[in-house]
Amino acid sequence: MRRTISAVPFGVYQGESVYLYTIENIHHSKLKVLSYAATWYDFEVQVDRQPHSLVLHFDNLADYIETPYQVGKTVGRVAGRIGNATFSLNGQTYHLPPNNGRHLLHGGDHGLQTHNFRARFDPDGDTVTLTTTLASADDGFPGDLTVTISYTLKADDEVQISYYGVTTADTLFNPTCHVYFNLDGQAALINPQQLRINSTKLVHTNHEKVPTGVFYVPSPAYDFREQPTIQSQLDRLIQETGRTEYDDCYVLDHQDEPAGVLATTHGRLLINTDRNGLVIFTANSERTQSYRLGDYHALAVELQTLPDAINHHGFGDVVLRAGQPRTYVNRYQSCQNSNQ
């Protein structure tokens, strides 16, 4: 079987048609992407010769537009929070309209997650390329930023997402995909699944989830290096802190190892990035689901440069210079037990 890419309508957003693109490889795995918000819609792999979904998704555009959880969407210019919605660049201080209390979250209310991207692809290829431009007049950041996002499904069931940015003036650039995974399907709980994060320190945040500028060594409840079950860590978390959820950023230590691994009985998902941060967020983002406190149907994994990096030394470089394009790459590989 050859590779194929198809496109079908998925609704209308602000007067523009939204399309769902499907990339299928020789193993009948499928990567599905929306033009709206360059959304990662689904990743289907074969389990016992049946299609099996690994990504939380909705079956209609309205739910994507209305959800506050940014399900599958590309967020940015800058993923995460910018403290006090303020930063300085080239000696000038920028005050942006806050959208998360006093702070800016995911680039604000006019970020990439609000755009319907233009798409191009080769029907016999393995990549869908999506492009849009963020205007400085709309979001308040310096420079008009053109972002090109390429979704690729490789023959070995690896999804690659590349983020290419070019700007008319020096600006900030740190987008990511706010994808939610559940390797057992979105009707199941993620609690029994195993999670490994190759990190020995976390970003310390204040009560508003804004970084304070320091790192800290994880207590047992936050230490995922030995690939524990998510449930066992939630149990420790309740004992240590009284909290019942994760919303935390890990500092990645080794670029030559998987940043993370999510595993279940039928296989694993290997997670890699060329940046230094991995955010996890336990969530129940479907309004109709009923659940007990501490039960979760999805795990968001956001690969990015550390949040609020522009305001903290040692957090990473998110400055994109005019005329100097930059590309980031995130990778997610499905490894099914039957194929190993």
Instruction: Report the pLDDT value the prediction gives residue 340, as an integer from 0 to 100.
Output: 39
Token pair of 311 as six digits: 């305001």
Give the model's confidence band at 287: pLDDT under 50 very low, under 70 low, under 90 confident, else very high: low
Give the active site residue among 24, 44, 286, 302. Answer: 302
Residues 6 or more apart whose CB falls under 8 angstroms from that of 163 comprise 74, 147, 148, 149, 173, 175, 176, 327, 328, 329, 330
178 is catalytic: yes
Query: Does 1 have pLDDT greater than 70?
Result: no
Give the active site residue among 115, 178, 286, 297. Answer: 178
User: Of the candidates 215, 209, 277, 197, which has an alpha carbon nearest to the alpha carbon of residue 243?
Assistant: 209
Contact by Cβ (8 Å): 250, 199: yes
Token pair of 127 as six digits: 């990549």
Q: Taking residues 34-59, what's their average pLDDT?
A: 97
Q: Compute the distance between CA of residue 16 and CA of residue 133 in angstroms, rounded to an integer.
A: 16
Instruction: Report the pLDDT value the prediction gives residue 278, as an integer from 0 to 100.
Output: 98
Tell if the pTM clears 0.85, that is, is over it.
yes
Whole-angstrom CA distances from 193 to 189, 231, 232, 314 are: 8, 8, 10, 33
pLDDT 10s digits, 260-271 = 999 999 999 999
Instruction: Report the pLDDT value the prediction gives residue 266, as an integer from 0 to 100.
Output: 95
Q: Compute the distance between CA of residue 291 and CA of residue 286 in angstroms, rounded to an integer.
A: 11
- For the chain, counts of helices (H) and of strands (E): 3, 27
Longest dimension (CA), the chain: 59
Q: Compute the distance between CA of residue 84 and CA of residue 307 in angstroms, rounded to an integer.
A: 13
- For 245-318, where are the E strands, in sequence order? 247-251, 260-264, 267-273, 277-283, 298-304
Give the 3-state secondary structure of residue 85: helix
pLDDT 10s digits, 302-314 = 999 999 999 999 9
pLDDT 10s digits, 59-79 = 999 999 999 999 999 999 999
Token pair of 38 as six digits: 């360059």
User: Of the candidates 261, 276, 274, 330, which has an alpha carbon nearest to the alpha carbon of residue 307?
Assistant: 276
Q: Taking residues 170-182, what's their average pLDDT?
A: 98
User: Of the candidates 174, 200, 168, which has an alpha carbon nearest to the alpha carbon of residue 275?
Assistant: 174
313 is catalytic: no
Buried b or exposed e, range 8-41, using 16+ CB within 10 angstroms: eebbebeeeebbbbbbbbebebbbbbbbbbbbbb
